[in-house]
Structure 1
């Protein structure tokens, strides 16, 4: 399969979240604001942390190596794919790939962002706790 550098292969996988970008999500340049993408990366990572460990409370402690590969536009259907990279005694690291299906060009999927997020497990008192597995 030959792909354009900007396209990603169609792989059957489960998105942690999927959302259509709207005009309210844009910056002054007319593309989706990077902070919007970062907030959804955080949510997707949290979904994966809970799915992987069954622990219910996590807080974000770090976002590492965030790379914005391509812009996201109004109307793009954006999918956030999360995968557990490492589980420690109190923390979990998640890699998130973000892919946009271009509006008006269904089927054209472009890798737009990737990031690594680290979460720490907490209890109801917001104290760090060990992750139960």
Structure 2
């Protein structure tokens, strides 16, 4: 196995473990992946349309629609008709939504702390530098 293959294997294992842990935590509490992103966005920018949420989070409008229906059912968001375009609903986060957002934020901070607990500050900085370098490949620069 080449070093590149070994690196890819570990990156994939790390990604899978992180997703698995997040899914397990969220499923135990009746949360779904993506809810936190939507709630976080709405806590910073209320009154967004479904399309604006989809665009901002780079997810399909259908996925946003499904998530918003569940969030609304759980009283985490409300929808109000846009005064400028009656065909459009604007989405607002509720107090319960803000509370859940804070819980999710706290959980993420705790998971992140545990994930990197075995690394020194210097190792964390080096890992960040390397990941940034990987994520800024020549192909990415051409797309910009």
TM norm structure 1: 0.25
Q: Which has the higher contact order (CA 8 A, sep 6+)?
A: 1
More helix by share: 2
Superposition TM-score, scaled by structure 2 size: 0.23
